[in-house]
Amino acid sequence: MLRLSERMKLAKYALVGGLNTGVDFAVFCAFVYGFGIGSIAAQTVSYLAGVANSYLLNRYWTFQVKSKRNMAELVRFIVINILSFAAATALLLGLEQWGAESALAKIVSVACSLVVNYVGYRLWVFQARRMDSV
């Protein structure tokens, strides 16, 4: 059973994730369906739009990091998001190759990235400041 503090982090992460997902999904659909841009380019732009918001909200609200931002933290954040992006994009393209509609494939890929990001943020990026010296 998760402690109350961990459940609160999960709830906050879910809210932030919902907002980020909404931005990501809206930008993706606008690019694919509105502008006729291919899935890879649309995925790249839409993912970056969600990531920019994610860093600030998760750092200051979800995980309540009080210390100053530092390069090591930013690099860890970028590494986790690159891993998440790669996993989500591979899943998105794979599902499209199997005949799934782009929007449905995007929804499934978002779930993949949510899991990768939470674990990475919680355990490595925004954890208690034991890594201040890194």
pLDDT of 34 above 90: yes
Range of the domain at 61: 4-131
pTM: predicted TM-score of the whole model, two decimal places: 0.68
Cα separation of 56 and 19, whole Å? 12
Cα separation of 116 and 55, whole Å? 15
Count up the domains in the chain and report the number. Answer: 1
Q: What is the pLDDT of residues 116-129, one digit of tens each?
A: 988 899 899 987 55
